Amino acid sequence: MNIIKLLKITSFTLGLIVLFFFVYSLINFSLLQNQIEESLANQVETYGYLAVSVFAFILEITPQPFASALIPYSNGLILGLGFIPLLTITIISVISASLVAYAIGIKYGKTITIKLVGEENYEKSYETFKKYGKPGMALLALTPIPYFPILGGIFKMSLKEFLIFAVFPRIIHFLIFGWVIYWMLV
């Protein structure tokens, strides 16, 4: 069998598998969200601050629409971890994840994005970012809506701009929502 034909068949098969899991995830969204939250709670209970740190980092760096780094933080509060150390470790993890995502965005972001969404969609996104970019990034960082720090690197924000318009608002986000969650649980 020709190697190119084999690669096409393999790519098609993998594409179908990914499509199947995507559709399955959409159909079973609430079930999967509950399983993720339950798994996070178990890991936080077992590994404490380390688990909160790791999961906050992963949830912050991964573009996904359904989970926030506030989930492991909340689980830590429920399980009795200290408020100040917990909030501090979560913020440090979020800052680290944002900076790593920014670096990935600078180095590989455009290439990856064009492969995923196509050059035309990339160009439209770039125009939108030029129009609303920095304030839009700050607004996303302040809200509980997932924000994607990789965008700062993809659209070539300077590190100073990224810190001002993404990282600093994200710190404010965690201070506000961290305190609100603490207040609601205590």
Which pair of structure tokens corresponds to residue 71?
């989930």
Rg (the chain; Cα; Å): 19
pLDDT of res. 29: 61
The pLDDT value recorded for residue 32 is 64
| pLDDT for the residue 92 | 95
pLDDT at 150: 78
Query: For residues 150 and 140, what is the distance between their CA atoms, to the nearest angstrom?
Result: 13
Q: Rounded to whole angstroms, how far apart are CA atoms 73 and 19? A: 32
Query: From CA 45, how far away is CA 130, in angstroms rounded?
Result: 43
Specify the DSSP class assigned to residue 48. T
**Parts of the chain with a pLDDT under 50:** none
Under a CB-based contact definition with an 8 Å cutoff, are residues 97 and 149 in contact?
yes
pLDDT of 99: 93
Contact 173, 141 (CB under 8 A): yes
Residue 149's nearest CA partner among 122, 128, 131, 168 is 168
CB of 72 closer than 8 Å to CB of 55: yes
- Six-digit token string for 183: 């207040």
